[in-house]
Structure 1
Amino acid sequence: MNTRIDPAALEAAEAAPPSHDASDPTLLARMIEAGILVETGEDGIYGRSAAFEDVLERLSVAVTLLGADQNAEVLRFPPALRRRDFEDSEYLKSFPDLAGTIHAFQGNDADHRRLLAALDATIAAGDGERSDEWMDQQKPTRLVFTPAACYPIYPVIARRGALPEGGATFDVFSYCFRHEPSVDPSRMQMFRMREFVRLGSPGDVMTFREKWIERGSAFVKMLGLPFDIDLANDPFFGRGGKIVANSQREQQLKFELVIPVATPGRPTACLSFNYHMDHFGTLWKIDCANGDVAHSACVAFGMERTTLALFRHHGLDVRAWPDGVRALLWGDTQAAIDAALR
């Protein structure tokens, strides 16, 4: 698949009206009313019902089978990252507004008394404006929340030494955190991300990304969901970030598979296909077997977002979903995936 896009064609495509149907701004309210999501009082933080989790877990099984031929090493980490690795990752240079650090009480008895006094005053405010004075007793720990599922693996791989001949592929899955509270249910603050990550030569990782653009598109078609593949950029922070974002688009480093979910006129990125060039290889000193700096690419599945898209387009009663979708998720998933790959 050729992922190079003619700039003039791209401009025309971006100026054209969306080819898919409108999003559903009532989706969150309907899912909460049906008990599929559980409101917590905090935007972007929701409980998940058995029905929601069942769909998500079945999606994850299908993604596993979709990538079974990648011979990927499976790595699972908790949703926390060593602060030192986070500092070295340069995430704060690009996304300081999204990062979440982990704090904890580390004081003595006197500090504890001050904390409790401040907490009593906070609670006494009732429904009024609450003070955060008690948090003065909370100090940074050695951990931060994981911002993307792949972030823990780069320092681990770097400590192993050079990659094996032919590079390496990894299957990672984790809860992630990004501080962007929103009433859009597809923009959760804590969410799960499934990734296949490829490290190796530039040719290898570009072939990997092109294959996954095709494969991800075929998978979403099997799910019966409308989608587009768009050239995209990450939400880099500040005025300087606009320059970086423009460069990312000009080099066509990031594509997204977008599906209308909840926000009218703005479809949601449910899969992303990213070419990092040698950024992580240089940052973490990861080399190929021949001594060249490793390039990397990844495909990331937004698990909650894709689950929401299924409920949005097929309805809140999974028993009434289209036969093909039910066959994929609740039937012989292996056979359905094999047929798609053929």
Structure 2
Amino acid sequence: MNSMTDTVAAAAASAAAKATAATGFRDELLAAGLLIDTGENGLYGRSQLFENVLDRVNVAITQLGADQQPEVLRFPPAMRRTDFEDSEYLKSFPNLAGTIHSFCGNDMGHRRLLRALDDAMTESDEERSDAWMAQQKPTRVVLTPAACYPVYPVMARRGPLPADGRTIDVLSYCFRYEPSLDPGRMQMFRQREYVRLGSAEQVMAFRQMWIERGSLLVTLLQLPVEVDLANDPFFGRGGKIVADSQRAQALKFELLIPLADPRGKTACLSFNYHMDHFGAIWKIVCEDGALAHTGCVGFGMERITLALFRHHGLDVNHWPDEVRALLWGDTEARVAQHMQPMQTAQRAGAGA
């Protein structure tokens, strides 16, 4: 028996099974009209029903964070290229980044572009040449990789943080280049985030609070809850060292829910502590002049919505009564009722 061959074969079989499960769920969603096929893996349209469920989840998230009185900011799904360069995203995730190019040439360049495009259009979709793109140049904007990224340079320009720091509520479409048949791994997706800027103690308390609140939301939606230590998918050979360090310092936790593959788990919420990384990059300081620490809780809006359809079925009329009441009933009152014990405990802890 060749144990190495057996191991490779088992890994290949497992990967094939996961791909089959992911494709099966995707096909169900497409057949039901919940997702709309665009012909590009990971790039979908959404139906009215899908958006309605997502919007109602978003309302519940708003109620979870209402007592924090966050400043609400909304950005387009693009950010300044210089801010993106400063963020150091390319050091860790160059394979996921998406830049925006445009034609910046003259009449001659335009004619070259059109000739190359005419040639390309004689070929099939899969074999088309991209020679016409030689006439494109990078613009001053890039696609937003995470909803919180535009927040930090904006906060830096305001000067020192107030004594109690700042809490920001942000929602944005994000882009990551990872085409997949798994509907839970989209190239364009929405993140709802609460971002905290302040001292290390303020940010750590914020993260713990949101681990509890995020778990509460998922419990109220009657979905499986598993919070585990995690790391980001850092690129390259050195990425493992960075990932190991991130785990060793317990900087990232994820709330995992079985999604496309019932035997696997997908991160639907993440709870992140950046230490003073972004504070140092953008010179964000606290009231006392110390570098600010930052953290965020991120809700994967499409993933939570997909989890609801996966676990409760594609017909929302047959979802559990308590879930329907939470989403389409008095969401504010129901969230407040379940939040009350947490808020009481938080106040007691603050007064201790």
Q: How high is the TM-score relative to the length of structure 1?
A: 0.92
Q: 1:24 touches 1:263 (CA, 8 Å); kept in 2?
A: yes
| Partner Cα distance (1:103, 1:340) in 2 | 48
Map 1:151-300 onto structure 2 (within 5 A). Answer: 151-300=149-298
Equivalent-residue separation in structure 1 for 2:166 and 2:243 (angstroms): 28
Tell me the residue number matched to 2:12.
none
Aligned-pair distance for 1:291? 1.0
Structure 2 SS opposite 1:51: helix
Alpha-carbon offset, residue 242 of structure 1 = 0.5
Q: How many Å separate the matches in 1 of 2:206 and 2:270?
A: 13
Out of 79, 82, 92, which is 2:80 matched to? 82
Matched residue of 2:237: which SS?
helix
The DSSP-based 3-state class of the residue aligned with 1:301 is: strand
Offset at residue 292 of structure 1 (A): 1.0
Query: 1:143/1:330 Cα in 2 relative to 1: closer, same or farther (>3 Å)?
Result: same
Kindly indicate whether the alpha-carbon contact (under 8 Å) linking 1:280 and 1:296 is maintained by their aligned counterparts in 2. yes
Equivalent-residue separation in structure 2 for 1:332 and 1:303 (angstroms) = 20
Amino acid at match of 2:317: R
1:127 to partner: Cα distance: 4.7
Residue 6 of structure 1 is matched in structure 2 by none
How far the C-alpha of 1:165 sits from its partner, in A, is: 1.1
Alignment partner for residue 45 of structure 1, among 43, 46, 56?
43
Is the Cα–Cα contact under 8 Å of residues 95 and 236 in structure 1 kept in the other structure? yes
Q: Could you tell me the percent identity over the aligned residues?
A: 68
Secondary structure of the residue that 1:35 maps to in structure 2? coil
Partner SS state of residue 219, structure 2 = helix
State the partner residue of 2:347: none
Q: Which amino acid aligns with 2:195?
A: V
The runs of at least 4 aligned residues of structure 1 exceeding 3 Å deviation read none
> How far did residue 263 of structure 1 move?
2.9
Query: How many residues align structurally?
Result: 320
Return the alpha-carbon distance in structure 2 between the equivalents of residues 315 and 264 of structure 1. 14
- Contiguous gaps of at least 5 residues in structure 2: 1-19, 341-352
Deviation at 1:27, TM superposition (A): 1.2
Structure 1 residues 286-324: Cα deviation after superposition (integer angstroms, max 9, x where no partner): 011111111111100000000000000000011111001
CA distance in 2, matches of 1:169, 1:196: 7
C-alpha separation between the residues in 2 aligned to 1:260 and 1:131?
39
**In structure 1, distance between residues paired with 2:126 and 2:183:** 27
49, 53, 64: which one aligns with 1:55: 53
Matched, 1:302 2:300: yes
Tell me how far 1:47 sits from its aligned partner. 0.5
1:92 corresponding residue in structure 2 = 90
**Displacement after TM superposition at 1:264 (Å):** 4.7
- AA aligned opposite 1:138: Q
> Amino acid of the residue matched to residue 209 of structure 1?
R
Pair 1:49–1:288, CA change in 2 (3 A): same
Partners of 1:227 and 1:260 within 8 A in 2: no
Q: CA RMSD in A?
A: 1.0
Which secondary structure state, in structure 1, belongs to the residue aligned with residue 162 of structure 2?
coil
Where does residue 131 of structure 1 map in the other structure? 129
8 Å contact from structure 1 (residues 256, 272) kept in 2: yes
* Pairwise CA distance, 1:128: 5.6
- Once residues 293 and 341 of structure 1 are traced to their aligned partners in structure 2, the CA distance between those partners, rounded to angstroms, is 32
Q: In structure 2, how many angstroms separate the alpha carbons of the residues matched to 1:68 and 1:265?
A: 35
SS at match of 2:40: coil
Residues 24 and 312 in structure 1, CA contact (< 8 A), matched pair in contact too = no
Q: Provide TM-score, normalisation by structure 2.
A: 0.90
The partner residue of 1:107 within 95, 105, 108 is 105
Task: Judge conservation of contact 1:174–1:194 (CA < 8 Å) in 2.
Answer: yes
Unaligned segments of structure 1, at least 5 residues: 1-22
